[in-house]
Structure 1
Amino acid sequence: MADLNVLAFAGSLRAGSYNRALVRAAQALAPAGMTITIFDLAEVPLYNGDVEAAGDPPGVARFKDAIRAADGVLIATPEYNHGVPGVTKNAIDWASRPPRQAVLDGKPVAIMGASPGITGTARGQSQLRQAFEFTNSYAMPQPELLVFRAHEKFDAEGRLTDEATAKFLTAFLEAFAVWIPRFR
Structure 2
Amino acid sequence: MEIIDVLAICGSTREKSFNRALTLAARDLAPDPFRVEVWDDHTGLPHVEAAPGRPFPAAVGALRDRVSRADILLLVTPELNRNIPGRLKDIVDWLSVPAPPRPLMGRPVMLMSASPNRFGGAFAQLQLADLLRRAGAEVLTDLDVTVGSAHRHVDDAGNLVGEEPRHEVAQLWRRLLARTADGRQAVPV
Question: Normalization by structure 2: what TM-score?
Answer: 0.89
Report the Cα distance in structure 1 between the residues aligned to 2:178 and 2:12, rounded to whole angstroms: 27
Aligned positions of 1:9-158 closer than 5 A: 9-40=9-40, 41-50=42-51, 53-98=53-98, 102-158=102-158
8 Å contact from structure 2 (residues 67, 103) kept in 1: yes
Identity of aligned residues (%): 31
Deviation at 1:49, TM superposition (A): 2.1
Give the match's secondary structure for 1:141: coil
Question: What is the one-letter code of the residue matched to 1:48?
Answer: E
Question: What is the one-letter code of the residue matched to 2:15?
Answer: A
Structure 1 stretch displaced more, 174-183 or 92-101: 174-183
Alignment gaps of 5+ in structure 1: none
Moved over 3 A (4+): 176-181
Instruction: Give a deviation string over 1:54-85, Cα, whole Å, max 9, x none.
Output: 31112111211110111010010001001111
Question: What is the one-letter code of the residue matched to 1:107?
Answer: R
Give the match's secondary structure for 2:185: helix
Report the Cα distance in structure 2 between the residues aligned to 1:98 and 1:132, rounded to whole angstroms: 13
Question: What is the one-letter code of the residue matched to 1:167?
Answer: H
8 Å contact from structure 2 (residues 19, 76) kept in 1: yes
Report the Cα distance in structure 2 between the residues aligned to 1:117 and 1:53, rounded to whole angstroms: 43
Question: What is the one-letter code of the residue matched to 2:45?
Answer: V
Report the Cα distance in structure 1 between the residues aligned to 2:32 and 2:125, rounded to whole angstroms: 27
How large is the RMSD of aligned CA atoms in angstroms? 2.0
Deviation at 1:100, TM superposition (A): 8.1
Report the Cα distance in structure 2 between the residues aligned to 1:154 and 1:84, rounded to whole angstroms: 20
Report the Cα distance in structure 2 between the residues aligned to 1:105 and 1:158, rounded to whole angstroms: 33
8 Å contact from structure 2 (residues 121, 147) kept in 1: yes
Question: What is the one-letter code of the residue matched to 1:78?
Answer: P
Deviation at 1:112, TM superposition (A): 0.5
Question: What is the one-letter code of the residue matched to 1:88?
Answer: L
Alignment gaps of 5+ in structure 2: none
- Greater share of helix residues, 1 or 2? 1
* C-alpha spacing 1:62/1:123, structure 2 compared with 1 (3 Å): same
1:182 matched to which residue of 2?
185
* C-alpha spacing 1:136/1:100, structure 2 compared with 1 (3 Å): farther
Report the Cα distance in structure 2 between the residues aligned to 1:93 and 1:60, rounded to whole angstroms: 11
8 Å contact from structure 1 (residues 107, 183) kept in 2: no
Deviation at 1:179, TM superposition (A): 5.8
2:171 matched to which residue of 1?
171
8 Å contact from structure 1 (residues 140, 179) kept in 2: no
